[in-house]
Amino acid sequence: MRALAFIKFLHNLFNTPSYSGTMAITILDCYTDEPAGLGVPPYLGTYPRYLYGYLKEEHETINYLTIDDLRLHIFYQGKIKEKAQTDIKTYNLTKNYPHISKILSETNELIIIVGVHAPGKYLSALPGILHEVLRLVKDIKCKKVLTGPALYGTSLEGGKFFEKADLQKFDEVRNYNFPFAKVAGYAVSGAELVKQIPDYRIIELETGRGCSSKGCNFCTEPLKSRLMFRRKEDIILEMKAMHENGVVDFRLGKQACFYTYPGPDKLLERIREEIKDIRTLHIDNVIPSMVLSSRGDRITEAIVKHCTPGNIAAFGVESFDPAIIEANNLACDAETSFEAIKRVNELGREMGKNGMPKYLPGINILFGLEAESKQSQEENMKWLKKIYDDGLLVRRINIRQVAVFPGTKLYERCGNKYLRKNKRYYWKWRNEIRQKIDFPMLRRLVPKGSILKGIRTEVHDGNTTFGRQIGSYPLSVGIKKKLPLKKFYDIKVEDHMLRSVVGSIQ
């Protein structure tokens, strides 16, 4: 019996089902965050959009719910309460939340998208993890199907093994791994999903899968796909379909490296020619060595010219320590990362019209990798200090503890050995970077008196309102006033915190 159940489990995992047109299907988006791809609000990821387009082929109506809708329904009987601190667990509601009881009672199949592989802190959302999701859906009487990156494990916090994914607690587990030939159509018909969302969303666009590097030992991206790219025509058609549904904010972010895409400069040029009135056009994820390649300057110049200001090349540096770089097969050495940071500064740091430089590097640092020692922190500080002392700008330094996923070389070679060994230093190491690098860097980036335009208010914390510009890694601004949410303001920078600024309305 067990063997039979396992065969059925594997069959379901690798085969997309065919549906009868009378089934009522609901997509439950618990949000996704992967090294290559973000689907946490205000971003709308590819998983629900492609799935919607695929289901649309056979169904008239597909309901889209967020985990926030379900939390509000279960914990607050669907009533939104005014609180001093905005509840980010119920902030991202769809238009369907007032009808959720009816939707769920009529649903035959609930397809649940879950998966956080690159955990972070989110200003106005909290992704669901398997443990929470299982609890929330247990009383819903329908078939429950799990999909999304959680199939490879999921973790809301770094520094841990993946959340023990008891996949068999769901009725089915399915990997909707659509080939790009199918995505072409699904992405276009899936664009109308945004009609069910009352708020704005930044659309995370996919340009490629897999990775051109040797494959970093901790990363799940090379496990998921070999290297492949989407056709420019298909990306543009998807953007046009989105635009027709009212979307004006886009990020070309679902890929390991934007510079690796064939002809990314041409892609940007065509987007600008063919789609007017784009409010945000940003990118994400860059392998530093690609910036220094023979076509690197051409691509950087195209990004500066065609994208909107406040754009960031998130460099997966991970560590400046040569011992870690070698042991973990990382894509670049410290010198290369430094030179790439310098080159993006030379070509991109000119001030944009929203008060932020047009295009800057960001740095990702990971703690807990193989061969990590006290020396690693010294190397990180040495290079970060050099970046600062050379007068360069870095928009943000993202420091995380690695999440150890099964199937990765990190999992096989040492698991969480280094996390356990060095955990006691992490607060100190992180704080050293925050105090000695981040803080003065932020003062250099946006000195007191700078004007930041188009800050959208997102959450309240007591009498302080927090907002951000729309885009890739926008700077959080705290305003000491209770302002209406979801409105735009121009802000004058009054003071600096470690990673955010205090501002007043202009």
Q: Which residues in this chain contact ligand SF4 in the complex, by CB under 6 A?
A: 35-36, 211, 213, 215-216, 219, 221-222, 256, 287, 316, 331
Element (H, E) at 298: helix 296-306
State which residue, 287 or 365, has the beta carbon closest to ligand SF4.
Answer: 287
Instruction: State which residue, 189 or 285, has the beta carbon closest to ligand SF4.
Output: 285
Q: Which is nearer to ligand SF4, 256 or 307 (CB)?
A: 256
Within 8 A by CB and 6+ apart from 21, the residues are 58, 59, 60
Q: Which lies closer to ligand SF4 via its Cβ, residue 36 or residue 191?
A: 36
Report in angstroms how near the CB of residue 464 gets to ligand SF4 at its nearest: 35
Rg (CA), the chain: 22
Contacts of 412 (CB under 8 A, 6+ apart): none
For 1, the token pair is 């019996």
Give the C-alpha separation, 361 to 344, whole Å. Answer: 6
CB of 284 closer than 8 Å to CB of 252 = yes
Nearer to ligand SF4, 137 or 290 (CB): 290
Are 183 and 238 a contacting pair, CB within 8 Å? no
CA distance 348 to 360: 6
Q: CA-CA distance, 418 to 4, in Å (whole number)? A: 39
Q: CA-CA distance, 61 to 21, in Å (whole number)?
A: 10
**Minimum CB separation from ligand SF4 for residue 453, in Å?**
32
Q: Are 216 and 331 in contact (CB under 8 A)?
A: yes
In the complex with ligand SF4, the residue whose CB is nearer, 100 or 366, is 366
Nearer to ligand SF4, 111 or 317 (CB): 317
Shortest approach of ligand SF4 to residue 332 CB, angstroms? 8
Taking the complex as a whole, how short is the minimal distance between the CB of residue 277 and ligand SF4, in angstroms? 32
Torsion of CA 429, 431, 434, 436, to 10 degrees: -80
CA neighbor of 212 nearest in space, from 316, 118, 307, 325: 316
User: Shortest approach of ligand SF4 to residue 363 CB, angstroms?
Assistant: 13
378/412 with CB nearer ligand SF4: 412
Residue in 286, 225, 282, 235 with CA at minimum distance from that of residue 258: 286
Question: Which residues have a Cβ under 8 Å from the Cβ of 72 and sit 6 or more positions away?
Answer: 78, 79, 80, 90, 93, 97
CB of residue 221 to ligand SF4, shortest distance in Å:
4
Q: Widest CA span of the chain, in angstroms?
A: 70
Alpha helices in 221-261 (DSSP H): 221-224, 232-244
Nearest distance, CB of residue 213 and ligand SF4, angstroms = 4
Q: Smallest distance, Å, CB 459 to ligand SF4?
A: 30
Report strand pairing: 451-461 vs 397-401: unpaired
Helix axes 374-389, 334-348, angle to 10 degrees: 30
Residue with smaller CB distance to ligand SF4, 100 or 257:
257
Q: Find the shortest distance in angstroms from Cβ 191 to ligand SF4.
A: 27
| CB closer to ligand SF4 out of 222 and 454 | 222
Beta carbon of residue 133, minimum distance to ligand SF4 (angstroms, whole number): 26
Q: What is the three-state SS of 55-124?
A: HHCCCCCEEEEEHHHHHHHHHHCCCCCCCCECCCCCCCCCCCHHHHHHHHHHCCEEEEEEEECCCCCCCC
Minimum gap (Å) between residue 305 Cβ and ligand SF4: 26
Q: Considering the complex, state which of residue 256 and residue 455 has its C-beta at the smaller distance from ligand SF4.
A: 256
